[in-house]
């Protein structure tokens, strides 16, 4: 089968991956599931993997097939699989977990002591077929196109996971700020609008993104390249500040918003990453605010997100590309030229 493979780390996205002919994955464990990939989302994390950013956190053996946002049709199952059958359309949770360690027992999939992460620690879904496990696949509701919703496997549940935490702290009289209305942010904004009655302000540097934010439910928008975010947010909140910030950018500039626009006791959810947090400890003490990281979401949260999708609460904006166009996608995303999410469709 054909697969897009990383052979060496590089900063050059235009030829980062090669299309190789490799063996089709096989059932090696009674709980294995083989999925014919119909769509695999390209994520900023894929760019970071190519750059070697993840080598300090996980072991990676190159060459490796990338792709961790995967959906398709089940083509083969192990002899102990009972929850899906051949022919079922599925979306794949981004990790394969053991089910036995304490984090698995309490439902915290991403903390599994023995997890395997397709596209990050083992071969992923930028290929014709993917080997995964029964614990990772969720049967899709009727009428849901696997290729259309593949990015929800990571981008969607990451955004949903952050929003779910924020909603627990929001009342109808509160204000929430969404920073970055891109591939992650446009999902998070819709989830926030569906799950909370709080007033939503969207912040971005592009007018097109802010137009999208209005369409998707934002009550107010701010172009941060043209306006002072602090003064604008304070004016909108009667100088109280926002109670929750959902930061889908995670740059040095955006993580700095916490000290300027958070109401006392609020939370700044860092979802996008790549920047740093620079705050004197006294600033956190005086404002009694918190930075909260977001590491994808759980299996049940992916089920919940699929329910929102089936109920037309989440409109995922995607564009499709062939496997042969994969380096073009990587380069475009590196330069911020892709709106919404890119989906790779294998031959």
Distance of alpha carbon 299 from alpha carbon 198, whole angstroms: 26
Pair 149, 229 in one domain: no
The residue segments making up the domain with residue 253 are 158-293
Pair 21, 124 in one domain: yes
Domain of 40, CATH number, reads 3.90.180.10
Pair 329, 256 in one domain: no
Those residues whose C-beta lies under 8 Å from the C-beta of residue 84, and which sit 6 or more positions away, are: 33, 74, 77, 90, 134, 137, 139
Query: Which of 253, 278, 293 lies at the terminal end of a domain, its last residue?
Result: 293
Pair 176, 119 in one domain: no
Pair 137, 182 in one domain: no
Tens of pLDDT along the chain (347 residues) come to 999 999 999 999 999 999 999 999 999 999 999 999 999 999 989 999 999 999 988 999 999 999 999 999 999 999 999 999 999 999 999 999 999 999 999 989 889 999 999 999 999 999 999 999 999 999 998 889 999 999 999 999 999 999 999 999 999 999 999 999 998 999 999 999 999 999 999 999 999 999 999 999 999 999 999 999 999 999 999 999 999 999 999 999 999 999 999 999 999 999 998 899 999 999 999 999 999 999 889 999 999 999 999 999 999 989 999 999 999 999 999 988 888 899 999 98
Cis, bond preceding 297 (omega within 30 deg of 0): no
pTM for the structure as a whole: 0.91
Domain of 287, CATH number, reads 3.40.50.720
Pair 27, 167 in one domain: no
User: Domains in the chain: how many in total?
Assistant: 2
Pair 130, 197 in one domain: no
The encoded tokens of residue 104 equal 């698995």
pLDDT in tens, 260-284: 999 999 999 999 988 999 999 999 9
Those residues whose C-beta lies under 8 Å from the C-beta of residue 92, and which sit 6 or more positions away, are: 35, 70, 71, 118, 125, 130, 132, 136, 137, 138, 153
DSSP class per residue in 174-223: -EEEEE--STTHHHHHHHHHHH--SEEEEEES-HHHHHHHHHTT-SEEEE
């Amino acid at each position: 089968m054909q697969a897009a493979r990383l052979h060496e780390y590089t900063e050059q996205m235009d030829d980062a991956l090669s299309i190789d002919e490799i063996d089709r994955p096989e059932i090696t464990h009674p709980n294995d599931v083989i999925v014919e990939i119909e769509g695999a989302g390209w994520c900023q994390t894929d760019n970071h993997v190519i750059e070697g950013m993840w080598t300090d956190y996980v072991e990676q053996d190159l060459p490796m097939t990338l792709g961790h946002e995967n959906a398709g049709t089940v083509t083969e199952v192990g002899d102990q699989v009972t929850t899906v059958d051949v022919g079922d359309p599925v979306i794949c949770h981004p990790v394969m977990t053991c089910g036995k360690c304490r984090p698995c027992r309490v439902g915290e999939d991403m903390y599994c002591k023995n997890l395997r992460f397709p596209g990050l620690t083992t071969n992923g879904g930028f290929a014709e077929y993917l080997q995964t496990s029964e614990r990772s696949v969720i049967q899709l509701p009727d009428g849901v196109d696997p290729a259309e919703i593949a990015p929800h496997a990571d981008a969607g549940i990451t955004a949903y996971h952050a929003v779910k935490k924020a909603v627990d702290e929001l009342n109808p009289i509160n204000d929430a700020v969404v920073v970055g209305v891109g591939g992650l942010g446009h999902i998070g904004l819709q989830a926030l609008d569906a799950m909370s009655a709080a007033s939503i302000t969207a912040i971005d540097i592009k007018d097109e993104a802010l137009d999208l934010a209005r369409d998707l439910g934002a009550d107010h928008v701010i172009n941060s390249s043209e306006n002072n975010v602090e003064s604008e947010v304070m004016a909108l909140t009667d100088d109280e500040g926002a109670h929750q910030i959902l930061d889908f950018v995670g740059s040095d500039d955006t993580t700095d918003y916490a000290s300027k626009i958070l109401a006392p006791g609020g939370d700044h959810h860092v979802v996008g990453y790549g920047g740093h947090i620079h705050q004197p400890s006294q600033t956190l003490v005086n404002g009694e605010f918190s930075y909260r990281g977001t590491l994808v979401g759980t299996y049940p949260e992916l089920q919940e997100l699929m329910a929102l999708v089936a109920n037309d609460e989440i409109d995922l904006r995607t564009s499709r590309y062939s496997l042969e166009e994969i380096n073009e996608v990587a380069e475009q995303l590196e330069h911020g030229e892709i709106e919404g999410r890119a989906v790779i469709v294998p031959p």
